[in-house]
Amino acid sequence: MSTTPQDTLHSDKDTESLLGATVRLAGDSGDGMQLVGSQLTNASALAGNDVATFPDFPAEIRAPRGTRAGVSGFQLQFSSEDIFTPGDELDALVVMNPAALVTNIGDLRDRGVLIANEDSFAGKDLKLANLDQNPLESDDLKKYNLIKVPITSLTRTAVSEVKNADGNTLGTKEADRCKNFFALGIICWLYGRNLEPTIRFLNDKFGKKRPDVAEANTLALKAGWNYGETAELFERNYQVQPAHLTPGTYTNVMGNQALAWGLVTAANLSNKELFYGSYPITPASPVLEELSNFKNYGVKTFQAEDEIAAICSAIGAAFGGSMALTGSSGPGIALKGEAMGLAMILELPMLILNVQRGGPSTGLPTKTEQSDLLQVMFGRNGESPLPVIAARSPSDCFDVAQEAWRISSRFMIPVIILSDGYIANGAEPWKIPDVAELEKISISHPGPIEEGETFLPYSRNEDLARPWALPGTETLMHRLGGLEKEDLTGNVSYDPDNHQYMTNIRQEKVDRIAHVVDPVEVSGPASGDLLVLSWGGTYGACITACRRAREDGMSVAHAHLRWLAPFPANLEEVLKQYKKVLIPELNMGQLSLLIRAKFLIDVAQLNKVKGKPFKVSEILKRIRDEIELLK
Amino acid sequence: MSTTPQDTLHSDKDTESLLGATVRLAGDSGDGMQLVGSQLTNASALAGNDVATFPDFPAEIRAPRGTRAGVSGFQLQFSSEDIFTPGDELDALVVMNPAALVTNIGDLRDRGVLIANEDSFAGKDLKLANLDQNPLESDDLKKYNLIKVPITSLTRTAVSEVKNADGNTLGTKEADRCKNFFALGIICWLYGRNLEPTIRFLNDKFGKKRPDVAEANTLALKAGWNYGETAELFERNYQVQPAHLTPGTYTNVMGNQALAWGLVTAANLSNKELFYGSYPITPASPVLEELSNFKNYGVKTFQAEDEIAAICSAIGAAFGGSMALTGSSGPGIALKGEAMGLAMILELPMLILNVQRGGPSTGLPTKTEQSDLLQVMFGRNGESPLPVIAARSPSDCFDVAQEAWRISSRFMIPVIILSDGYIANGAEPWKIPDVAELEKISISHPGPIEEGETFLPYSRNEDLARPWALPGTETLMHRLGGLEKEDLTGNVSYDPDNHQYMTNIRQEKVDRIAHVVDPVEVSGPASGDLLVLSWGGTYGACITACRRAREDGMSVAHAHLRWLAPFPANLEEVLKQYKKVLIPELNMGQLSLLIRAKFLIDVAQLNKVKGKPFKVSEILKRIRDEIELLK
Amino acid sequence: MSTDLPVLTAADFGSDQDIRWCPGCGDYSILAQMKKMLPNLGVPREKIVFISGIGCSSRFPYYMNTYGMHSIHGRAPAFATGLKLARPDLQVWVITGDGDALSIGGNHLMHVIRRNVNLNIVLFNNRIYGLTKGQYSPTSPPGKRTKSTPYGSIDNPLNPLSLAVGCEATFVARSIDTYIKHLGATLERAAEHQGTSFVEVYQNCNVFNDGAWSYATDRNIKADHLLELEHGKPMIFGKNRDKGIRLNGMEPEVVELGKGVQEDDLLFHDEKATEPTLAYLLSRMRVDDGFPEPIGVLRSVEHPTYDGGVVAQMDEVTAQKGKGDLNALFRMGDTWEVEAETT
Amino acid sequence: MSTDLPVLTAADFGSDQDIRWCPGCGDYSILAQMKKMLPNLGVPREKIVFISGIGCSSRFPYYMNTYGMHSIHGRAPAFATGLKLARPDLQVWVITGDGDALSIGGNHLMHVIRRNVNLNIVLFNNRIYGLTKGQYSPTSPPGKRTKSTPYGSIDNPLNPLSLAVGCEATFVARSIDTYIKHLGATLERAAEHQGTSFVEVYQNCNVFNDGAWSYATDRNIKADHLLELEHGKPMIFGKNRDKGIRLNGMEPEVVELGKGVQEDDLLFHDEKATEPTLAYLLSRMRVDDGFPEPIGVLRSVEHPTYDGGVVAQMDEVTAQKGKGDLNALFRMGDTWEVEAETT
Ligand SMILES: Cc1ncc(C[n+]2csc(CCOP(=O)(O)OP(=O)(O)O)c2C)c(N)n1
Ligand SMILES: Cc1ncc(C[n+]2csc(CCOP(=O)(O)OP(=O)(O)O)c2C)c(N)n1
Ligand code: SF4
Ligand code: SF4
Ligand SMILES: [Mg+2]
Ligand SMILES: [Mg+2]
């Protein structure tokens, strides 16, 4: 269903125009912050703003109620300009309990709006948050625009009339579950967000089975809005104009969803069935879950017994002619190393997805990190080079999936796709393409040969790709395997020169990809003081920081790597145009290592391993320092 | 039993003195070439020579008889000087059949001795080797000193009188099984090797159960010797003086054996039980097999269900306080990546052994390669640095095992040991140490604490090592795990700054090891034109090539890396002293990548991926080219 | 140090860590029964180690004031085997889930059981992946709609007890999170058994699979759905204890007592049967097929343990060959002397 | 292309690759019987795929003129599952060894069996690791001295058939490398079964474990050690077919026929028994315990296949929802229009 931005409720207070704002909703993980966060995102996108989100929740399914460990947050930036990150400092923060206040207040800017559910700043809640005193009374909050709202009691009142199917009113527990929508209502009022999409969502979701729940939440939402409008607490509200996005139809996508959609699209464009062999793991599971809905799109999902079986099943499916894919996160990818080596030597096309999370070992499963780059480059025995592509944002996952399959099927080589927890769970507007207009992916399989001819499964075309002969094809019977294979025939060979030759060819295949993928593009001056080089999910923070730096008069360009292996053909040339190269990474310097080794350039590193994405300001500060040093 | 070199048979022909010689015995894999090869090694070592060997056999258990794929070879260099490789070109080659001739002749130097079993150069044997004509008749062999010997028939005659327990003479099949000892007899005559150790071996091995077999082989051996002495085919024989080895008692060791012995010794020196969890794989299995003999040395071996269980069992044993170890080759190491990450974050001491083989995937299981360096450096999710040490020769494995455990237990960190197929199966003389004089490895475990004290499992000493508290110790109960852990307490922590801190500390621990291990030593000029930098099993070829280069007047030094992670503290300083650095590796440039990334030095690479070790001449040639370029 | 052991209570076995399971999760009850049971064994806390994989259930070790290891997914039996071999003096527990033990960890489970390593495995079976938020597991029933099977699972589920019996298990038992006395007693039996004890516990995941076991826990119906096994006793069940299991050839059948059927006609439980066929047959009985599901000890037989064998073999070889002497070992093969040169 | 299928012979199924097994290895015979049997099925060669792991046995696919994959150690069932799901039209065989299938590959074996994927597994059991030159395997008998157990194995071996039955197998059979007719017939039965067929073949490794099965292959004694199963027939064995298996409660016993024991007193084989308990009981019979070892088909029952279920579910969902339309999918949630700017 398509809607255009329209107001249903009009505020009579003063309205100030803003370029954009960054808002965070924080509460207990049982408080439903993620849910209202995504509703707010949706409403903002529908208002024509550019948006970017950052959900941040505890590792536990239900972390202990009310504790600091149990706090769940959802951050959103919306803007009338195009933006690339969910924002650094918060313009507004909603806290549903004391634990949420103390763990989030540090990110609120001075004079920022702080909305606190004052009903929960007492006794037990303070204790659960390990607090002796009520922080709302503390002088520390003076620098913020603190607005105390008895959200719990107001919500109870708002829903007090709602009756369930049995004609009873809601219990306190159920009534309290609507608190989050009350809070959302306030924020919607504050930033002039339309309530209608949220109301529609509530009706779609609960309307049939639990009309009482739909009604209660809607009432809470509206009560929140009205509270903002009526209470004397707010002086004004704000308005954010639509962003200047390319014309078209938009929807909001999350990274894992866009990835799943991109994969189905790639399968469709190449006329293939999609096979996904996977084993659940945070934050990659949603890809499996999303794809398992698509049974009527020719998608087969296989929840294997473990990650090894998952990749092996995908290799089997690739042998059979499917567009095959396996996916996991770091610990699962570690298990796939041996089979990845086999896939490489078999020279079958397939995709291997790694949605990275905080490591090492089990690490920080729900947090983001970019620390698997070297693992995917080198985590296999022997010389087994594979191409690696990384998505840079939620919507980019859609394109990356297709590009990866395009290369994989053309070169007959498994391709590794990197994403990360930040991209996977983040959301942004996406201009919906017309599938009919997307470039087809043409794949051919050899047909039967004449008597007297010999089929050579390891002969190669101009891309060094071998033929993808499918079981079931008469006369092409052949055997693949993990022992070194003779050139052309693919028979087992222990010949020394053949081994060297095949090793070279396999590397050469990866190298040649550099010439068919897009060259790296630079935004900013084509030469100058500093080049910020990024990859993966840090794209947004880097491009934004570079823009700001240029606005401040610095000579700073930004380049972003889509392919990590091979590097695009023009990369060296680009790097040479700047006095200094800065590589910000959410790891200890993995791309830096590769760049240093390849180009012998003394890059500056900005490394962060905290389970959190970069703030724009962190990068900007480092840019300033580097520019200063160059003077 | 100890013997000093002495002759039992004296030749009356002219004897020429040689510095040394390189000999290869080649035949069908059923011909027992490995057996007589190791007897020749033994005899040469007992003659006081320095020796180095290179067995090279097919992947199949019993490759098809008589075919090229079925050829098995054993190469040996012995010398009165100290040598480091089994030699490049052959001075003498024995071939038992046509397949062995055609696959080995390329390595024989001009005028080299070629002894062929002429009985097998006919009909079926030629066909099995895919030959139309008898190669012995080819002009191509003119440049060699070809000596045709009807080994089969002479052997049959030699053993014709031997009777078995039932009083029957040996059947042809059994008689023919003695051919290899006849051939050995000729070679022993040719190089003045004593027959006595071999005869003793035969008696020890067969004397009791099959005295007829012992007798027949002994007769064949002697007949071979006599044949050399009597037949008019050889003009002279040779003599190689004892080498000037450090005084002491010597024995011959193979790499895997020396490794096993080194491990048991390390356990002994640290007063620990040794626990080895492993799963069979070529070429690492002999370590498991060797260690499983040592039940009376406090060694527990556990053949696990797979490589993952193997490493996990070792981690369990390490937690329990054993000196724990797991070992495999490339494909098995790939499977251990996830658990290696856990071991790292647990900060338990243990060893992880990788006896490398040809890759990728199943690759060339019986061939050698150095292509797992990057895998062991990076084949794990997240930031999980581990120290890596590599053995350089068979006997060096003994020392490496101890050094690895010394560092591991001191720093509370898993250490990776690299060996390779070439080292594992090669043999060389080893000066037996007196165990009582080896430096003890002191390890302490915290004892119970007083009431009121808190035990902090992640507190650290001056080496950043945490306490190795053992289950069973009162009051120290604690829980380890793979989630990020809080500094000091080791409790689960998702705190951003703590994660950064712990990540840094784990890297720092590895880095600090650089200051306690030996600095890299240079042989040759302390500064000059070219430094050859090697690691692992290419040590011998590199040091020999550098010596020769210096003999030829070139300014070439050699440095060998024992620790690959961290690099020794003085490495950068050393590298800077030369105009150029050359890194020869049996891979596509893995150390080169690390050196380039770390030091931004444009190293020259000499890469070989053929399943075979370097020849000295290959390295020497490249040294010459590099020196030429520098002019 | 101290000579007479202090008397411990359940509370002594609790660690200082906040428990992070969802309110209402069945895991709480299992934890409580474990803490309550352990003091009965008289084993000091420092001699006990809990090892788990990954999953909600696998957080268990954090909550026990013993030694512990929260390892990696599916591999707990392998860590435990290594530890037990290194330290036969310790009492080792493996805590695992249906995904952890039966999906990714199936191989290790199979091998620890067949080796009969002397340790205790408790499998928290909630028929779902809890920690990863609700995908189906190898014990989820056919047709089950979960996050990864939105149209219903088409997998044929595994039966953990059949699997264990198929892997040569020497001790196999089943209990239920909320049947607390039975659970405690079953855990105690497991601890006492020499060899691998395998205990399946029906555990409710109230967030992602609430009510999966309601047929076995709902007050009103459970008596008809459970068969409480007692060694040497006839198999009787039902609210009024009026139903029984009789053997018909090789197949069990449910019969009503009284109407011509005597207790003596019923199948008598023999947990010590040398042949595991009875245990296998019991493991097959499922409510869906009209049978009550047996709880209690299905099988408990004596068999040499793997860790015992390892130690015995080391002792034997040492007795035979003497304690190893490295200096002798190194001189085992041919050796030769190089003299100091006199020139 | 061609309309009537050419009649194929055993030779047509041989590839051009040199066979690299040791002379005398039991693998040759299994290869020969496979080649001989396949033409009976009438399946064209290009529709057949052999997938193996690593081991001597796993070289098998190289020698078949069909499609094939020599994969990695222990994982063949997983490759085969993926292939069969992608291509239900193919006939897929898994060739594996006792180490490959039961040691490193145990988990995949377990899961392919319980899922009942429609493919055929042939396990070459030589009770040793052949390719790696003679270490013990999970089927090596206790006390076995091998390269890695110089003082004798202390492992409790796995019973492949018990394991399979414990994992919900729908087809379980056993044969012997040298009993060639029986082997051929058993393979043919396996091929015909819809679902996972699991066949254990006793295979002699004459280099590292010669004679491991001599009790079952030696002309003189084998008749007393083997029980050839036939559906619906009484269990009779012995050189003179004068011995039988009788059920005593839940336990089998060997009885002599004639002396008051009639054929009708014996246990009758029922491979189609819904309950797998009989198959389990049969799998337990071992020569070491005084029983003949059953060969032939222990169990063969109908059950929906996993691959069938996958396809059926896709069809069902498609029938219900229509063929997926990407353009519609992308517009499923809220969408909004951005107009071209008019300024
Ligand atoms: C190698 C690896 N793969 C996947 C995961 C993700 N993961 C963690 S627990 C789990 C399954 C949990 O299910 P179960 O064992 O039944 O435990 P429960 O949470 O239900 O107690 C999965 C898939 C992981 N941590 N590591
Ligand atoms: C990951 C991995 N681990 C170990 C090996 C070594 N390996 C190859 S085959 C094999 C066992 C073979 O035994 P089995 O499956 O019984 O086959 P057989 O040779 O006896 O036919 C082993 C351990 C390997 N190739 N890959
Ligand atoms: S998700 Fe389920 S199993 Fe996990 S803690 Fe919550 S209720 Fe328990
Ligand atoms: S080693 Fe054994 S199993 Fe392998 S080919 Fe030789 S005889 Fe056959
Ligand atoms: Mg579960
Ligand atoms: Mg085997």
In a domain, D24, yes or no: yes
* Lowest pLDDT segment from A25-34, B595-604, D293-302: A25-34
pLDDT at A1: 35
DSSP string, C96-114: EEHHIIIIITHHHHHHHHH
Asked if D87 and D119 count as a contact pair (C-beta separation under 8 A), the reply is no
**Does residue D35 carry a pLDDT above 60?**
yes
Residues 6+ apart with CB under 8 A from B390: B400, B417, B418, B419, B535, B536, B561, B562, B563, B564
Query: How far apart are the C-alpha atoms of B157 and B151, rounded to whole Å?
Result: 10
**Does residue A59 carry a pLDDT above 80?**
no
In a domain, D22, yes or no: yes
With 0-12 / 13-18 / 19 or more C-beta atoms within 10 angstroms meaning exposed / middle / buried, residue C227 is: buried
A119-125 long-range contacts (CB < 8 A, ≥24 apart) are A119/A150, A119/A151, A119/A152, A119/A153, A120/A96, A120/A152, A121/A97, A124/A66, A125/A66, A125/A97, A125/A98, A125/A99
Chain B residue with minimum CA distance to C340: B247
Phi and psi (nearest 5°) for A410?
A: -70, -40
Q: Does C70 touch chain B (CB under 8 A)?
A: yes
Query: How far apart are the C-alpha atoms of A555 and A418, rounded to whole Å?
Result: 30
State whether the beta carbon of C73 lies less than 6 angstroms from ligand 1. Answer: yes
Name the minimum distance, in Å, from the CA of C59 to any CA of chain B: 10
Among A231, A232, A235, A198, CA closest to A217 = A198
Residue to probe by mutation, ligand 3, list C27, C123, C202, most atoms within 8 Å of CB: C27
Helix (H, G, I), strand (E, B) or coil at B607: strand
Task: Dump pLDDT digits (tens) for A68-114.
Answer: 988 999 999 999 998 999 999 999 999 999 999 999 999 999 999 99
Residue to probe by mutation, ligand 1, list C52, C108, C132, most atoms within 8 Å of CB: C132
Residues 6+ apart with CB under 8 A from B81: B19, B20, B50, B243, B244
User: Are residues C112 and C179 located together in one domain of the fold?
Assistant: yes
User: Are residues D57 and D111 located together in one domain of the fold?
Assistant: yes
* Lowest pLDDT segment from A568-572, C71-75, D149-153, D248-252: D248-252
pLDDT at A331: 98
Residues of D within 8 A of B279 (CB-CB) are: 103-104
Per the structure, the complete domain to which residue D29 belongs is given by 10-231+271-306
In a domain, C18, yes or no: yes
User: Are residues C201 and C63 located together in one domain of the fold?
Assistant: yes
Query: How far apart are the C-alpha atoms of A429 and A49, rounded to whole Å?
Result: 9
Phi and psi (nearest 5°) for A437?
A: -95, -5
Q: For residue D137, which atom of ligand 2 is closest to its CA?
A: 16
- Among residues of chain A, what percentage have pLDDT more than 70? 99
In a domain, D327, yes or no: no
Average pLDDT, chain D: 95
Q: 3-state SS of A543-567? A: HHHHHHHHHCCCCEEEEEECEEECC
Query: How far apart are the C-alpha atoms of B218 and B201, rounded to whole Å?
Result: 10
Query: How far apart are the C-alpha atoms of A39 and A37, rounded to whole Å?
Result: 5
Chain D residue with minimum CA distance to B64: D20
Residue-range domains of chain A with CATH: 7-240 (3.40.920.10), 251-437 (3.40.50.970), 444-513 (no CATH), 522-630 (3.40.50.920)
* Chains A, B: CB pairs < 8 Å: 225
- Beta strand pairing status for C243-248 and C251-256? antiparallel
In a domain, D2, yes or no: no
CB distance C151–D313 less than 8 Å? yes
Angle between helices A179-190 and A151-159 (to 10 degrees): 100
Q: Measure the CA angle with vertex B421, ends B418 and B425; round to 5°.
A: 115
Query: How far apart are the C-alpha atoms of D244 and D239, rounded to whole Å?
Result: 12
pLDDT at A25: 96
Q: What is the mean pLDDT of residues A362-391?
A: 97
State whether the beta carbon of D76 lies less than 6 angstroms from ligand 2. Answer: no
pLDDT at C1: 44
In a domain, C244, yes or no: yes
CA of C103 to the centre of ligand 1 (A): 9
CB atoms inside a 10 Å sphere around CB A71:
27
Ligand 3 surroundings by CB, under 6 angstroms:
A 61-62; C 21-22, 25, 27, 56, 126, 130, 205-208
Q: What is the mean pLDDT of residues C255-274?
A: 94
* Alpha helices in A483-570, H assignment, sequence order: 496-513, 539-551
CB distance A2–D335 less than 8 Å? yes
List the single residue in A246, A275, A471 with the smallest CB-CB distance to D338. A246
- Four-CA torsion B13, B17, B19, B23, nearest 10 degrees: -10
Name the minimum distance, in Å, from the CA of C122 to any CA of chain D: 19
CB distance D138–B307 less than 8 Å? no
Give the residue, D338 or A419, on which the prediction is more confident.
A419
E strands, B504-562, where?
A: 522-523, 528-535, 556-561
pLDDT at C341: 65
Question: Residue B397's Cα: distance from chain center in Å?
Answer: 8
**Does residue D341 carry a pLDDT above 70?**
no
**Does residue C191 carry a pLDDT above 90?**
yes
Give the residue, D341 or A196, on which the prediction is more confident.
A196
Name the minimum distance, in Å, from the CA of B92 to any CA of chain C: 25
User: Are residues C21 and C126 located together in one domain of the fold?
Assistant: yes
Q: Measure the CA angle with vertex C253, ends C247 and C256; round to 5°.
A: 105
User: Are residues D294 and D174 located together in one domain of the fold?
Assistant: yes
Name the minimum distance, in Å, from the CA of D20 to any CA of chain B: 6
Angle between helices D76-86 and D306-321 (to 10 degrees): 30
pLDDT at A230: 87
Prior bond of A360 cis (ω within 30°): yes
User: Are residues C258 and C296 located together in one domain of the fold?
Assistant: no
pLDDT at B2: 36
Q: Which two tokens stand for residue B215?
A: 């007798």
Average pLDDT, chain A: 94
Q: Measure the CA angle with vertex D149, ends D147 and D154; round to 5°.
A: 155
CB distance C149–A292 less than 8 Å? yes
User: Are residues C163 and C38 located together in one domain of the fold?
Assistant: yes
Q: Which residue has the tokens 């390779």?
A: B420
Prior bond of B360 cis (ω within 30°): yes
Residue B314 bridge partners (DSSP):
none
Query: How far apart are the C-alpha atoms of A209 and A205, rounded to whole Å?
Result: 8
Residues 6+ apart with CB under 8 A from B539: B84, B392, B393, B396, B560
Query: How far apart are the C-alpha atoms of B403 and B387, rounded to whole Å?
Result: 12
State whether the beta carbon of B559 lies less than 6 angstroms from ligand 2. Answer: no
* Alpha helices in A109-150, H assignment, sequence order: 123-128
**Does residue A7 carry a pLDDT above 80?**
no
**Does residue A57 carry a pLDDT above 90?**
no
User: Are residues D93 and D41 located together in one domain of the fold?
Assistant: yes
State whether the beta carbon of D124 lies less than 6 angstroms from ligand 2. Answer: yes
Residue to probe by mutation, ligand 3, list A29, A61, A65, A282, most atoms within 8 Å of CB: A61
In a domain, D324, yes or no: no
Residues 6+ apart with CB under 8 A from C93: C48, C49, C50, C51, C80, C119, C120, C121, C122
Q: Which residue has the tokens 């992308």?
A: D330
Name the minimum distance, in Å, from the CA of C129 to any CA of chain B: 19
- Beta strand pairing status for A299-303 and A274-278? parallel
CB atoms inside a 10 Å sphere around CB B118:
17
Asked if C13 and C38 count as a contact pair (C-beta separation under 8 A), the reply is yes
- Best residue in B311, B361, B498 to probe A by mutation, most A CBs within 10 Å? B361
Residues 6+ apart with CB under 8 A from B43: B188, B193, B194, B195, B197, B198
pLDDT at B63: 76
Query: How far apart are the C-alpha atoms of A355 and A376, rounded to whole Å?
Result: 11
Residues 6+ apart with CB under 8 A from B329: A381, B281, B282, B283, B284, B354, B355, B356, B357, B365
pLDDT at D1: 44
User: Are residues D275 and D253 located together in one domain of the fold?
Assistant: no
pLDDT at B165: 85
CB distance B503–A588 less than 8 Å? yes
Residues of D within 8 A of A315 (CB-CB) are: 71, 79, 82
- Beta strand pairing status for B90-95 and D171-176? unpaired
Nearest CA to ligand 3 atom 6: C22
The residue type found at A138 is S
Q: Could you give the number of structural domains in chain C?
A: 2
Among D104, B361, B282, CA closest to A380 = B361
* Alpha helices in B231-346, H assignment, sequence order: 255-269, 285-291, 307-320, 330-346
E strands, chain D, where?
A: 48-52, 67-70, 91-97, 120-125, 171-176, 197-202, 226-228, 236-237, 243-248, 251-256, 293-300, 335-338
User: Are residues D175 and D32 located together in one domain of the fold?
Assistant: yes
Among C236, C238, C240, CA closest to C261 = C236
List the single residue in C107, C250, C280 with the smallest CB-CB distance to D106. C107
Helix (H, G, I), strand (E, B) or coil at B108: strand
A368, A482, B90, C328 from B78: Cα distances, Å: 58, 37, 12, 27
Q: For residue C131, which atom of ligand 1 is closest to its CA?
A: 19
User: Are residues C168 and C297 located together in one domain of the fold?
Assistant: yes
- Among residues of chain A, what percentage have pLDDT more than 90? 87
pLDDT at A2: 36
CB distance B289–D147 less than 8 Å? yes
Prior bond of D141 cis (ω within 30°): no
Q: What is the CATH number of the domain that holds D89?
A: 3.40.50.970
Name the minimum distance, in Å, from the CA of D270 to any CA of chain C: 11
Q: Does C115 touch chain B (CB under 8 A)?
A: no
In a domain, D342, yes or no: no
pLDDT at B5: 35
Query: Binning pLDDT at 50, 70 and 90, where does residue A233 land?
Result: confident
Ligand 4 surroundings by CB, under 6 angstroms:
B 61-62; D 21-22, 25, 27, 56, 126, 130, 205-208
Asked if B588 and A503 count as a contact pair (C-beta separation under 8 A), the reply is yes
- Best residue in C85, C112, C131, C320 to probe B by mutation, most B CBs within 10 Å? C85
Asked if D95 and D66 count as a contact pair (C-beta separation under 8 A), the reply is no
pLDDT at C259: 82
DSSP string, B188-212: HHHTT--SHHHHHHHHHHHTTT-HH
Among A431, A403, A433, CA closest to A416 = A403
Prior bond of B566 cis (ω within 30°): yes
pLDDT at A9: 64
**Does residue C7 carry a pLDDT above 90?**
no
Provide the whole-model pTM: 0.95
pLDDT at C4: 61
CA of D88 to the centre of ligand 6 (A): 30
pLDDT at B14: 82
Residues of A within 8 A of D320 (CB-CB) are: 296
Q: What is the mean pLDDT of each run of 10 residues along chain B (631 residues)?
A: 44 84 94 93 91 84 83 94 92 96 94 95 92 92 94 94 89 93 95 93 91 94 92 85 89 96 98 98 98 97 98 98 98 98 98 98 96 98 98 98 98 98 94 96 97 96 98 98 97 96 98 97 97 98 96 97 98 98 98 98 98 96 97 88
User: Are residues D84 and D105 located together in one domain of the fold?
Assistant: yes
Query: How far apart are the C-alpha atoms of A8 and A159, rounded to whole Å?
Result: 21
**Does residue C29 carry a pLDDT above 80?**
yes
**Does residue A137 carry a pLDDT above 50?**
yes
Q: 3-state SS of D192-214? A: HCCCCEEEEEECCCCCCCCCCCH
Query: How far apart are the C-alpha atoms of A327 and A355, rounded to whole Å?
Result: 8
Kindly state the helix (H) or strand (E) to which residue A270 belongs, with its residue range.
none
pLDDT at A480: 98
